[in-house]
Structure 1
Amino acid sequence: MTSLHKVALGAAFAASTALTSFAASATELTIAIVNNGHMINMQKVAEAYTKETGVKLKWVSLEEGVLREQVTSDTATGGGEYDIINIGMQEAPIWGKAGWIEPLKFSSSYDIDDMLPAIRNGLSHEGTLYAAPFYGESSMVMYRKDLTDAAGVSIADNDSWENIKKVAMAIHNPDKGIYGACLRGKPGWGDNMAFITTMVNSFGGAWFDKDFRPTIDSDAWKKAINFYVDLLGTYGPPGSEGNSFNEILALYNEGKCGMWIDATIAASFLKVDGVAYAQSPNAGNPVGANWLWAWAMAVPAGSPNAEESKKFIEWATSKNYIKAVAAHPEFGWGKVPTGTRASTYASPEFQKVAKFASAEMAAIESAAPQATDVKPYVGVQFAAIPEFPQVGSAVAQEMAAALSGAKSVDEALKASQAAADAIMKEAGYYE
C-alpha cells in the first residue's frame, strides 16, 4: 500500500437549448456532490441533460466533511460507488499524479482557454487537467454597509485585522440579534481550517518549514489563533464552533451577521440588502491573505461509465451550462456558477446583476497558492501534500476546542504540533 493510500484511508476513517448532443443511453451516473447552493441548483438544470441524452443521473448530496471522507475512501480503494465525484484543488493534482482519477480531454468547443488560468492550473498536474471546475472562489469580506455607516466605521481592501476587530465591536449588537463577525468554527480541514490557515498566512505563518516539520508552535500561529479566538469568541454568534459555510450563510440571510469573511461564492446567495465587499484582511504578509479554491468534477479511475461521465462533466462545466442556468426560470444570471470562466465576467447580463463580480475577480487573481519563502508548499488554505487532510483534520479539532473554551490556545497549539509531528514522521518526511 502506498503512502498516499495510507493517508487517504486514515483521513477517511479519523437547459440550455444549446446542450451538446450526445447519443441516447440507458446509462445511470452516480454523482457525489457537496451540498452547496450551486451544486443543488445543478440537479434541476441537469434535468434537461437527461431529457436530451437519456442518461439518468443519481445524485448523492453530502455535507462537505462527509463528502471528503466518503469520496476519499471509495476512490483510494477503487470501490466504484461513484461515477463522478466533487473534489478540489487539494486533491486533484495529487490524485491525478497517483492515477486515482482520469485525465480530462474535451472537444474544441469547450474552449478550455476561457478557463481562468489560476483555476485551471490548480486542478492540473504537469499540464493535464484532472478535474473540471464547476465553480471557483477566493475569499473576501462581506459586510452590512448600513451597519458600518450607522456606526461610523469603514472597511478598506486588505484592511488590518485590528480594524476588522474595531468594526466588529462597533456593529456588534446581540440584543438585536446582530453579531459583529461570523467566521468558520466547525472542525474540518476544509471548514474552520480553511479560514484559520488563511488567517495564519496573513500573520506570516505556515504549516511547515522547508523540511516539512510542523511550525504550529510558532509565534505567528500563536498571534493568529489568539486573535481568532478573541474576535470570534467576543463578537461572533453563540456556538460558532459548530458553524461552517452553510450555517453562516443561513445566519447572514437571517440578518444576524454584520460581517463575514469567507468564500467569494457566498455573494451569489446573499439575500440581505446593502452588502458591500472588500479584499481580505492582512496582518503584514504580502501574499496569502485570501485563498484559492474550486469545487470540481472528476472521474475515478477504472469507472465503467468513464466516457459518459466525461461527457456529462464537459456539459456541466461548459459555457453552455452557464447559459442554461441564466435561462432557467428559477435562477437567472445572478445564480450562475462563477470563478471559472473569463466569458462569464465579460457578460453584460452578468455584470448587471452581480454587484460582487469585480471584488470576486480581484480576489481570485490576487490569490497566491505558489510556494514562497514563508511556505514551502503549494496552497493557501491547505497544503498540497497527501498528508494534509489528516494533519488538517487533527488540528481542526484542537482549534474548535480552543474556540469553545474547552482548551486554552496554548494547549490547543501544543497538541496540534504534537499531532502534526507524529503524522509527518510516520509519513517519512524526517526521523
Structure 2
Amino acid sequence: MTNPASPHKPALLVRGTWGEARRIGAVLREETVGGALLLLGAVVAIIWANSPWGDTYETLRHVRFGPEALHLNLSLAAWAADGLLAIFFFVAGLELKREFVAGDLRDPRRAAVPIVAALGGVIVPALLYLLIARSVEGGARGWAIPTATDIAFALAVLAVIGRFLPSALRAFLLTLAVVDDLVAIVIIALFYTKHLSVVPLLAALAPLAVFTVLVQHRVRSWWLLLPLAAATWALVHASGVHATVAGVLLGFAVPVVRSKKTGGPEAGPGLAEHFEHRFRPISAGVAVPVFAFLSAGVYLGGLDGLVSAFRDPVVLGVAVGLVVGKPIGIMTATWLMARFTQADLDEDLAWVDMLGLSVLAGIGFTVSLLIGELAFGMGNDEHVKAAVLSGSVTAALLATVILRSRNRAYRRIREIETVDLDQDGVPDVYQVGRPEAADG
C-alpha cells in the first residue's frame, strides 16, 4: 500500500497511523477470541434445541429470577438480552467515544466514508426488508433486523480466512461496525421503546450524573461506580427504554482524554482506555457468547422445516437484507463518496476488496437477534432466528470466497507493513514520508 491519502481528500481504504493500527490490532485479537466463543455458544444452542432434549433448552431459557418489587423478575434469556448485553453496549459506547474524540473518526475527512458507508448499509437492507415483508400483518416491525453488523462474528471469520488482511481493510471494517453500533443504539432507543415511563427515566439521570462526575475525576473504585451503574441500568429498564441504552450512556460518560485541569500537570489518556481494557474481555468472552447461547437455539425441524420457514416473507426479508442489502448499501454509498469527493483508493487495493468487506458486514447475528426479540417478542421470533442464522452464514461463506481470492495480494501488502529495518518497533511503512504516521 504505497499511495497515502492526500491531506485534501477523504481517505478510502488508506493506511492510518501506527498508533491506530496497533490499537485496532489489539482490539481485533480480543474480538476474534470472543467471536470464536460466540460461534461455539450458538452452535451448542442450535444442536441442543434440535436434539431430543430440546425442551430442556427452552426450560433453561425461561427460568426466572430477580426482585419482583423492582420489576426485575426476568427470565434467564431476558437477563442475557437486557443485562449482559448492557456490558457489550458499554464497551461499544467507550469505543464510539474514543473513535470520535481521539481516533481516526475525529478527522471529518477520514470519518466521512465509513459513516456514509454504514448508513448505506442500514438504509438499503431496511428498504429491501420492507419491500419483501410489506404484505405480512405486523411484519414491518422487523425492518431493523437486517441492518446490524456483528463485529465479533465477522472477525471470527476473518481469523480463519483473512489472517493477512491489510491494516486499512481491518480498520475500515472496525470503523464501519462502530458506526453501525451507534445507529443500532439509536434505532433501539427510538423505535423499540413501547411504553415510556418518564419518572424512572429522569431518575436515572441522578446516578448517571454522579457516575460521570466520579469518572471525570479519575475515580475507578468499583464499589462506588458499580452500584451507580447498576442503578442507572435498573431505572432505564424500568422506564421502558431498552436497558442496553444505559450501557451506552455510561460509556459516553467516561473521559477519553485526561485534561490538565482534572488529571494533573499533563494531559493524557482518560479512563476510557482503562475501562475498555478491563471490560472488553468480559463483553467478548462472556456477555456476547452467553447471549448467543441463550438466543440462537432455534428448532429448525430439519430441511423441510427450514424450507418452510423461508416461505415466510419476514424470514426472506431478513435474509435478503443481510446477504444482498448490506453489500449493495455499503458499496453504493462508498462508490458515491468516492465519485463525488474524489476520495483516494490505495493503488494496491481494488473495489473487490470493498465488496468482500461489504458482504462480510452482512453477518448480523448479535444485535439482529436482539432486535428480532424486541420486534416480535421473545418466543415469537423463531423464524427470525433461522433467517438471521442462515443469512449470516451465507454472508460469511460468500465473503470467504471473495477475500480468499485476494489472499496473494494481501500477503504482499502484509510483508510491506511488517518491515522494520531500523528495529525501532514501528514498521518503516508508517514512517517513510509521513512523520506523523508513527503518532499514537
> Shared fold by TM > 0.5?
no
Q: Which has the higher strand share?
A: 1
